[in-house]
Amino acid sequence: MNSRLFRITFTLLAFSSCCTLFSQSFPIELWPVRNSAWMRDLGAGWETHSLLDPYQPADSVTQRDKHETDLWVQRDLLRYGRTREKAFSDKQRLNMETWVGYTGRVWAGDRDSAAVDLNALNWYQKISFNKFWVQWHIRAATKESGFPGFTPHARDIARAGMHAGEFDRALVGYTGSHFHVQYGRDRRIWGPDLTDNVMLSGESASYEHFMGRFDYRNWSASFFTGFLETVENGGNLYQRYIAGHAVQYSNQRNFVIMAGEVTVYYGENRPFDLSYLNPVPIHIETELNNRENVPYDNGNLSNAVYFLNADWMTPPRIRVSASFLMDEFQLDQEDRNRGRPDALAGRLRLSRAVHAGSVAGIGYGIVEAAGTYTYRHGNPFTGLVSRDLPLGLPSGSDYVKTAAGAQVFLKQRIMGQVEFSHMKQGEGDIRRSPYAPFGEYIQTKFPSGTVQTVYRLDLHLTAHIRQWMEAGLLYSRQSLSGPDKDMVLNTFGFELKLYCWGMGSL
């Protein structure tokens, strides 16, 4: 490609937009989102930190005068934020923002030779005028398991070498000073983490839904309702839907807490239920008072979970992130006497960050567990899953896990991470049979049935060479043991990411 054609192409790709991000989501693959997540552990961005779709890349730059700016992850975010301000000082203009990226990954290890594991393309685009906007994120890859939350159907025929592709996000919306509304395909992320929340994680499949959010001072409230998928079973078609409500309080300094519920409901050829479009009533009132479009005594075709998330940053850079989920809880002693257990999940993460000049480090520990019956229901198709992926913790259910790790950020724009984890998981893992009911609901050992024990060591070294180039080395060692099999898997990988991004106004 000659230089003139390259400049023209880049200019066309470099237009971008900058409304206030509010609760709009960015793809977690993009470096500003990841850098914002790192800066949370380092104590930046807590004035705007939210557990309702957290880690938006503009958040951390709000503290530019209150935190050290010599760390490269902070400098990148500051430069990014200042570029946005300069490009979009007049918000009456038509603004556009584009990210185009390539990801290549090669794996080797317990194979005969190294093999290309993935070639993938990403295109994120946002166009806005005043307070109205449209955005999309297209992903295409050489196979259907290329990314977390990537759920297309692979085709035998390739286009430009790509066998699988999808619109991961496709949205239109309006963002006001205190109110935000949007419709389209996206995923909600509710909790302290990007990917490992007890409910609504960043590795779930995206789905069509309508969402609204209201913010006033220290309080926020959000709700959404939408369509998950149609599942065929025995020649019948079952429609699956989702709805959620949440309320949040933040002291806009170092503490955020939110409580919420998520409901999954279904039915054979069941239409969308308008009762879940109402943003105020909670699930139990709607269900027990027969306000659904299917009577409660017709089979109890809905399942709700309730959860509490909290995030707290204390001096000196000690962060406590806690989440608790209640799927079933036996209030009556009679049920406990009958051997009916609780169905719970929880996650606790503690981190300690240090920052000296241009070098920073984060040490952390994690404990998480999900019960044998958590995320399931007595009826099929009401489990907390979509397109075969969990809507909550990516590890599924019927397990307990502990992990410890550390991250180091060097001034040469290098990040190193090491993590060691231990997990015991039983046969009740919802990922084995995502749409099956739990069957007989009785107390059993935890984890249940045949238990698999996994010890895992992960090493990751990333060089953020430029804002448009990133290279990484990965190593993973897994030791799996159980009554039927024992094995050790060693995997080595090399990953290259290229970005073309820019912003501008017309």
List the chain residues with pLDDT less than 50: 1-23, 64-65
User: In what helix (H) or strand (E) does residue 182 lie, and over which residues does it extend?
Assistant: strand 179-186
**Does the model's pTM come out above 0.95?**
no
C-alpha–C-alpha distance, residues 333 and 340, integer Å: 10
Q: What are the residue boundaries of the structural domains of the chain, listed by start?
A: 3-431+440-505
- Render pLDDT for 377-389 as a digit per residue (tens, 0 to 9): 988 899 999 999 9
What is the homologous superfamily of the domain 3-431+440-505 according to CATH? Capsule assembly protein Wzi (2.40.160.130)
State the CB neighbour count (10 A cutoff) for residue 122: 21
SS (H, E, C) 365-421: EEEEEECCCCCCCCCCCCCCEECCEECECCCCCCEEEEEEEEEEEECCCEEEEEEEE
CA 12 to chain centre: 30
- The confidence score (pLDDT) of residue 21 equals 38
CA pair distance 171, 186, nearest whole angstrom = 7
Cα 46 versus chain centre, distance: 19
How confident is the model at residue 126, as a pLDDT?
92
Please count the other Cβ atoms lying within 10 Å of the Cβ belonging to residue 351.
21
pLDDT in tens, 52-110: 987 776 555 555 445 566 788 888 888 887 787 777 776 667 888 899 999 998 887 65
Read off the pLDDT of residues 121-137 as tens digits, 9 standing for 90 and up. Answer: 999 999 998 889 999 99
